[in-house]
Structure 1
Amino acid sequence: MSIDDYLQAPESKTLDFKQDLSSPRNLLKTLVAFANTAGGRVVIGVEDKTRTPWGIDNPLEEEERLCNLIADSISPRLVPNVEMTTVDGKTLLVVEVFLSNSRPHFFRAEGPDAGVYVRLGSTNRQADRELIAELRRSVEGVSFDEMPMPDLSSDDLDITAAQKAFGNNRLLDEQNLLTLKLLTRHQKRLVPTQGAILLFGKERTRHFADAWIQCGRFFGTEKIDIFDHCEIDGPLPQAVDEVMLFLKKHAFRGADLSELRRKDVWSIPLGILREVIINALVHSDYSQRGAPIRIVFLDDRIEVESMGILLPGLTIDDMKQGASRIRNPVIARVFKELHLIEQWGTGVRRIFAEARELKLPEPKIEEIALRLRFTIFLAEPHAITPDTGKAHPKHASLDTTPQVTQQVTQQVTPQVTQQVTPQVTPQVKRLLTSAVGELSRAELMRAIGMKDRVTFAKNYLEPALAEDLIEMTQPDSPTSPTQRYRLTENGRMVMERM
C-alpha cells in the first residue's frame, strides 16, 4: 500500500494515525500493542479525524527524538522501521512495527505486569495476567491445552465418555491417550493435560470455571429481554449437538418437495452455525476467566462469542483469506479424529462461501473486550409472537425455491392429545426440546413451565424414561439429590426427525 492508500483507510488493528509527538505516551503504547499483536504502522503528522496531512516540523530532529523515546520507554528492546515520506509538500513519519518474537513488550513506565498492551480493532487494550501468559506461550511454542495438570491423575478423566465419543475408531489405551496428548508424562507420572480435562474431565467446571456454554434466545434484536436459555457443561465434543438442538428448538422448518424424498429445510443456516460453534470450542482461550462461550439467538441474527483475541500475527482479514493458527492443538486433534473438523484451516472460508451461496449477508467477525464474536445474519426475521412464544418468519415462505413449502410447526401444549411422532406424545416432545445438556428435575420443570411434580412425572418424565428418550446420569441412584437427566441417542434421533 502507498501512503495515499493509508490516508484513505480507517484506523484498524494494523494502522494508526498521530498528529504529532506532543503526547508520545499513547504512541508508545500503540507501538507496544502492534509488536505484541500483529504488527502495524503509525503515520505521524496527520490529523486524526480528517486525515489532513499537517506534516512534521524539523522531521530529522523528530525522527531522532522518536527513536530515543522508543529505546528508553519500551522493553524488551524494540527496533521499528522509521521512514520519512512527503504528501502535498508535507513531511510525514511512518513507523512500521513487525510482530515481535520477543513479546510480550511493555511500556517501561508502567512495568511488565501493567504495561503490556495488545491491539483490538483500532484501540489498545491493557493485557491481563492470563493474556500476558498467552503471549509468552505463543513465542515458546507451548499451548495451554498441552500443559500438564500435575495435581490430577488419569482417574480424573471420564474414559467411558471419551471411548463412547471415539467408538470403535480408536481404542483409548495408554499409548493412544499419550499420542492424543490426553495424558502426558510429568515427573515420572502420567497426568492429564489441560486439554484432556477440558474435553473429558469428570469435573471440568471445577478446574475451568468458565469452560461451559451459555445459550439464550432473546425477544427482538437487542439483548435485553430473554425468552429462553440453557447451560451446557458436558464434554466439549458432545456440546456441539446440544447447542444445535437449542438453536433448532427456536427455528422453524420447511420441506423441499422438489426431490423424490422429502428434504427438511431449516430457517437458520445450520451448516454455517455448526462450523462457527466448532470454531469457538476449538479456538477459545480457556486460560481466560470471566465468561463462558455465549450463543445469542436474536430475531435477525445469531452471535457466537468466545474468550480470547486472535493469536499474535493473525488478523480478521487473514482469517477471511483462509489463514489459520491453532490455539488448542489437543482439542483440535480430538475434534479432527471425531470428524467434527473436516480439513485444517478451511472452516472460516467455508462459512463465508456458504453464506454467499445462501445469499445471506456477509458474516461479521469482531474482537470485543478480549473476546471474539462471530455474527451470522438470518435471511428472515424470527419474531417471537407474544401469544404462543414461538418464533415465526416475517413472510410466508423460506425464499429458497418455488418447490419449498412452509410447514411451520405449532407450539405443543399439554392439551394437545395427538402424537407428534410414533411413540412420542406432545408432552414428551415438549420435554425433549427442553432437555438441552444435563438438567435436574426442577430445571426441566422450569424449562417447560410446569409446577405440579406429579403431573410432570406421570405425563412427561416417566414416559420419556420408559421410551429410552431420556436417561438418568446416576441410574443406580435414582433418588440422588444430584440426579440429572439428559437425552439418549434414541432421543437425539427422535429430535432430528421432529
Structure 2
Amino acid sequence: MKLETLDDIKNLITSDTETDNIEFKKTTGQLERGMETLCAFLNGEGGTVLFGVTDEGKIIGQDVAGKTKETIGEAISRLEPSVNVQIFYVPMPDSEKKVIALHVESARMERPFCYRGRPYMRIENVTTLMPQDKYNHLLIQRGGKYGWETMTNPDLKISDLDEHAILGAVRGGIRCGRLPEATIREDLPTILEKFNLLHDGKLNNASAVLFGSNFYYYPQCLLRLARFKGTTKDEFIDNQRITGNIYTLLDAAMAFFFKHLSLSGKIEGLYREEELEIPYKALRECCTNALCHRLYHRPGSSVGIAIYDDRVEIENSGTFPPDITMEKLLSGHNSEPQNQIIANVLYKSEVLESWGRGIGLMISECQRVGLPAPEFHTDGNSVWVIFRYTRKTVGYDPTVTRQSPDSHPTVAPQVEKVLSAIGEQTLSTKEIMGIIGLKDKSNFLELYLYPATRLNLVEPIYPENPKHPRQKYRLTDKGKELLKR
C-alpha cells in the first residue's frame, strides 16, 4: 500500500466511522491503543491505524518530532512475532502537521500476534483482548514446530504402531494411483519418512493418530458412539467408547451406522441394491473430516456420534478455518486442513478428498435420496453436523430391513458377509460378489471388501501389487478366528 498524499488518506477513509480494518486516533498520545488495534489487524486480515484523524473521520494532522518517530519505532518492536509495519508520514497542505499511517498486510501464517505479550482481535470496529481458545486455535494453525501433529514424542517407537494399518494405507494408495507400487516393498522407517511421520529417527504425534496401537499418551484418540431411544438423550439403546487410530475409528463408526440405521433396498433383476437411511458416502465423508480436521492438542477431546430416531449428529473438537465464512463453506472452498500431515496421509491412502469437495459430496448425496441437506454448526470450540432423516423421505419405494446387532462391535454386517463368503477358500473379487449376490463393484469395494482388509481380516495374495490381474483374497488368521466366533 502507498499513502503519499492527503488524497490517498481521503480515499482510504470511506466513511466517518471506523471499520474492521481502519482505526482513527487523534494523536500519538493514543499510541498504545493504536498499537493494540494494529495487533488486532495482524490477527485478522490486516488494516491501517491513522493518527491525526478524529473519531468522526475528520483529518486534522499532528506535529511530528524526532521523538515521535522514535516512540513509534519502539512500540512496533513490542509486536511479537516481529512483522513488517509500513509507516507513512503524509503532509497536510499549508501546514507542518502530518497524518501518520501505520499499515499491516494479512499475515495468516504468523498468527497469533501479541502486543506487550497480549493478543488482540477486532470485532466490527472494536478492539478487544483475544480469548484463550481462539489464541490456542491460531497457535495450532501456525505451521512448523508449533503444530501439534509435528511435535515429536521421544517415548514413541515404531513397535507402538500398527504395521498392518501402515501397509493397508500403502496398498490403498497404490490401488488408487497416489503411491508408486514400489512403496509396498520398502521398510517401515522409509515409508514413515515419506509420510512425514518420522524425522531424525523420532516419530511425531501424527504417526500415533494415524497408525498407533498403544494410546497411553493419546487419550484424545477416542470415538464416542451412542444410539438413543427417541429424539432426546434420556435413554440409551447402545453406548460405546473406542480408542484407536484413525483407520480403526473410521471403520468402527461405519459399523455402528450399519448396526443402528435401517437399510433401504430395491430389487433389480436377481440382485438387491441396498442403501442406508442416510447415504453411506455422506456419513463416511463426514466422519473422515471429523477425524482428520479436529484439534488433537486437548487430551480430553474426542469425536462423538449420536444416532436418534430422526437424526444423526457427528461432533468433533475444533472449528472451521477462521477466514472461511459459512456461506463460503457451503458454496465451495479451497481445502485448508488443520492437520496437514494427517490429511496428506489420508489423501494418499484414498481415504480423504484433498480439494475441499467433501461438504459438497455430503449435500449432494443427501439430496440424491430426497433428504434435507446436512446442517453445519460451530461454537468456536467444536463443530457438529446434523443429518436429518425419516424413512418416508428415501428416494425410491423402500423395503426396510433393521440391522441386527453384529457379533463384534466394530465389524459391520457387510464385513461378516465377506468373511462367510470366502471361508477357507481363496477367491477373486468377482467370485466373492457372486456369492454375496452383488453386481455393483464400487459399492462392494467401499462397503464390503476394503473395510475387511483395513481390519486385517482379509488379505490379498499379491499384497505388493493390488492391481495384479490374478488378484484374489483369503482370510487372515484374525479373520478365521472371528468367523469361528
User: TM tier, shorter chain?
Assistant: 0.5 to 0.7
- Corresponding residue for residue 378 of structure 2: 367
- Corresponding residue for residue 132 of structure 2: 126
For residues 233 and 435 of structure 1, the distance between their equivalents in structure 2, rounded to whole angstroms, comes to 11
SS class of match (1:264):
strand
How has the CA–CA distance of structure 1 residues 363 and 160 changed in structure 2, closer, same or farther, with 3 Å as cutoff? closer
* Maintained 8 Å contact 1:116/1:126: no
Count of residues in Structure 1 that have an aligned counterpart in Structure 2: 365
SS class of match (1:249):
helix
* Maintained 8 Å contact 1:99/1:313: no
The alpha carbon displacement at 1:340 in A equals: 1.3
The alpha carbon displacement at 1:298 in A equals: 2.8
Is 1:272 the counterpart of 2:267? The answer is no
Alignment match of 1:350 (pick from 353, 358, 361): 361
- Corresponding residue for residue 314 of structure 2: 304
TM-score normalised to the size of structure 1?
A: 0.58
How has the CA–CA distance of structure 1 residues 342 and 489 changed in structure 2, closer, same or farther, with 3 Å as cutoff? farther
For residues 275 and 233 of structure 1, the distance between their equivalents in structure 2, rounded to whole angstroms, comes to 20
For residues 251 and 335 of structure 1, the distance between their equivalents in structure 2, rounded to whole angstroms, comes to 26
How has the CA–CA distance of structure 1 residues 164 and 491 changed in structure 2, closer, same or farther, with 3 Å as cutoff? farther
The alpha carbon displacement at 1:144 in A equals: 3.1
Alignment match of 1:209 (pick from 205, 219, 223): 219
How has the CA–CA distance of structure 1 residues 258 and 379 changed in structure 2, closer, same or farther, with 3 Å as cutoff? farther
How has the CA–CA distance of structure 1 residues 434 and 295 changed in structure 2, closer, same or farther, with 3 Å as cutoff? same
How has the CA–CA distance of structure 1 residues 75 and 259 changed in structure 2, closer, same or farther, with 3 Å as cutoff? farther
Select the structure of larger CA radius of gyration: 2
Q: Tell me which amino acid in the other structure corresponds to 2:114.
A: F
Is 1:163 the counterpart of 2:150? The answer is no
Alignment match of 1:177 (pick from 189, 192, 198): 192
For residues 432 and 184 of structure 1, the distance between their equivalents in structure 2, rounded to whole angstroms, comes to 41
How has the CA–CA distance of structure 1 residues 328 and 302 changed in structure 2, closer, same or farther, with 3 Å as cutoff? same
SS class of match (1:198):
helix
For residues 361 and 290 of structure 1, the distance between their equivalents in structure 2, rounded to whole angstroms, comes to 33
How has the CA–CA distance of structure 1 residues 280 and 490 changed in structure 2, closer, same or farther, with 3 Å as cutoff? farther
SS class of match (1:228):
strand
How has the CA–CA distance of structure 1 residues 301 and 62 changed in structure 2, closer, same or farther, with 3 Å as cutoff? farther
Is 1:432 the counterpart of 2:407? The answer is yes
Alignment match of 1:196 (pick from 207, 210, 229): 207
How has the CA–CA distance of structure 1 residues 126 and 235 changed in structure 2, closer, same or farther, with 3 Å as cutoff? closer
Is 1:326 the counterpart of 2:337? The answer is yes
- Corresponding residue for residue 152 of structure 2: 148
Deviations 1:136-171 (A, max 9, x none): x33x58643233223333233232442355459524
Q: Tell me which amino acid in the other structure corresponds to 1:283.
A: H
TM-score normalised to the size of structure 2?
A: 0.59
- Corresponding residue for residue 75 of structure 1: 79
The alpha carbon displacement at 1:196 in A equals: 0.9
- Corresponding residue for residue 400 of structure 1: 395
Is 1:231 the counterpart of 2:237? The answer is no
* Maintained 8 Å contact 1:218/1:226: yes
Deviations 1:334-390 (A, max 9, x none): 32233212554322222233233334323222332422x24233231xxxxxxxxxx
Alignment match of 1:253 (pick from 240, 246, 263): 263
How has the CA–CA distance of structure 1 residues 348 and 407 changed in structure 2, closer, same or farther, with 3 Å as cutoff? closer
For residues 60 and 375 of structure 2, the distance between their equivalents in structure 1, rounded to whole angstroms, comes to 44
SS class of match (2:238):
strand
- Corresponding residue for residue 8 of structure 2: none
Of all paired residues, the percent bearing the same amino acid is 23
Deviations 1:35-78 (A, max 9, x none): 43x53899xxxxxxxxxxxx9646447999xxx99x97993479
CA RMSD of aligned residues (A): 5.0
* Maintained 8 Å contact 2:229/2:308: yes
Deviations 1:281-334 (A, max 9, x none): 111121233321111223332222222233454444343313211232332233
How has the CA–CA distance of structure 1 residues 335 and 103 changed in structure 2, closer, same or farther, with 3 Å as cutoff? closer
* Maintained 8 Å contact 2:223/2:242: yes
Where do 1:13-28 residues align within 5 Å? none
